[in-house]
Structure 1
Amino acid sequence: MRIVLVGPPGAGKGTQAALLAQTLSIPHISTGDLFRANISQGTELGQKAQEYMRAGRLVPDEVTIGMAKDRMDQADAEGGFLLDGFPRNLAQAEALDGILKDEKLSLDAVLDLEVEEDEVVKRIAGRRMCRKDSSHIFHVEYSPSKESGVCDVCGGELYQREDDREDTVRKRLEVYHNETEPIIDYYKAQGLVTTLSALGAVADVTKRALAALGREDAAA
């Protein structure tokens, strides 16, 4: 299956993408992983991306599209893939259609994870990370530490990242509404979109997604 997963920051795309890809035995292709891999391997596209990033500029669509195409051309993606974070705008969505059309392929589904803006802000702004080990993550409401401001695992100080502050989160949401949301209507016109609630337990959201894909059997 060839799937695109979309949704606002804080909707749980990364978690669901990894679970769905594993369940369906297809590669999870995320924009973040593409950038990290190309930069660490010193590819031509990675070098170009790094130049823009060092200058504090947005990486052009053609660079991101090139990375995605190279990844989709790899052997493990022949039977399908799950795209997470790509496409992020209409230009990238149209480019993806062109890439697939050239290979006489098409998308099977676009899953739109839906969550209200206030819930997104609550999810992200409530996160606290450990200064000693960033893999230790807590939430002031959903998974608080036993002692306020102190990591349960190593005793490190818990803090709120700049990216997780409410004003920053709302700016990220604005970018999502302006740049990424239009691709949902683009794919709706192709009859590909299923909108799913991203609320509830992780396993419940995964079950909804698999049902939308007609793969309830895989949830067992």
Structure 2
Amino acid sequence: MRLILLGPPGAGKGTQAVRLVERLGIPQLSTGDMLRAAVAAETPIGLKAKAVMESGGLVSDDIVIGIVADRIEEADARKGFILDGFPRTVAQAEALDRMLQQKGLKLDAVVELVVDQDALVHRIVKRAEDAKAAGQPVRKDDDPEVFKTRLAAYNRDTAVVSPYYEKTDRLKRIDGMQPIDAVTEAMKAAIGG
């Protein structure tokens, strides 16, 4: 099963990805992790990425797609994979589709966790307040201003990806505001397996 998880930061993609990994026996692929691994392994595409990163540039979509293409050839991803946080743009979605088609593969589903963004901000603010009250450090991602910046970037750049997949009838929307177990059950129903 080849899946993409979409949704804003804090929607629960990571939590659901862990459950899918356990249930389906396929890896969750993070482009950041794959990029670091390719650079460390000094693969041809990793060396290209390293040169770009060392010069202070952003890694191009072609390099990221190349890293994904290499990673899905590994034994643990042959039965499928979960992409979480990628693609981030329509151009990346189109490039991913082309790459998969060249390999004779296709996505089985794109699952979007739909959430009330105001409620998400409130949840993050409360989590930060609870951490402070307990004398614990506030996670960088839980800083309300950092979170709002990430949410704005998602709305500006990444939210356009779901309509791309909706046009191809691959998009499954799930209410991400439900309790965690209910979201898991809705995902099972949406993707099968």
Q: Structure 1 unaligned runs (5+)?
A: 128-138, 152-157, 216-220
Q: Is the 8 A contact 1:149 1:159 kept in 2?
A: no
Shift of 1:167: 2.8
- Per the alignment, residue 133 of structure 2 pairs with 148
* Matches for 1:126-141 after TM superposition, within 5 Å: 126-127=126-127, 140=129
Q: Is 1:72 the equivalent of 2:72?
A: yes
Distance 1:62 1:16, change over 3 A: same
Structure 1 window deviating more from structure 2 (199-208 vs 36-45): it is: 36-45
Distance 1:202 1:55, change over 3 A: farther
Q: Is the 8 A contact 1:110 1:193 kept in 2?
A: yes
* Matches for 1:3-152 after TM superposition, within 5 Å: 3-53=3-53, 57-127=57-127, 140=129, 144=130, 148-151=133-136
Highest CA radius of gyration, 1 or 2? 1
Whichever structure has more helix as a proportion of its residues is 2
Q: Is the 8 A contact 2:116 2:177 kept in 1?
A: no
Q: Structure 2 unaligned runs (5+)?
A: none
Letter of the 1:66 counterpart: G
**Aligned residue-pair number:** 193
Letter of the 1:159 counterpart: V
Q: CA RMSD in A?
A: 2.3
Distance 1:108 1:41, change over 3 A: same
Select the residue among 153, 159, 169 that pairs with 2:138.
159
How far apart, in 1, do the equivalents of 2:33 and 2:142 lie? Answer: 21
Letter of the 1:10 counterpart: G
- Per the alignment, residue 180 of structure 1 pairs with 158
Letter of the 2:133 counterpart: S
**Which structure is richer in relative contact order (CA contacts within 8 A, separation 6 or more)?**
2
TM-score normalised by the chain length of structure 2: 0.87
Letter of the 1:202 counterpart: I
How far apart, in 1, do the equivalents of 2:135 and 2:164 lie? Answer: 46
How far apart, in 2, do the equivalents of 1:122 and 1:56 lie? Answer: 35
Shift of 1:193: 0.7
Shift of 1:166: 2.6
- Per the alignment, residue 191 of structure 1 pairs with 169
Q: What percent identity do the matched residue pairs reach?
A: 42
Distance 1:61 1:159, change over 3 A: same
How far apart, in 2, do the equivalents of 1:160 and 1:79 lie? Answer: 35
Q: Is the 8 A contact 2:65 2:99 kept in 1?
A: no
How far apart, in 2, do the equivalents of 1:177 and 1:199 lie? Answer: 18
Secondary structure of the equivalent of 1:159? coil
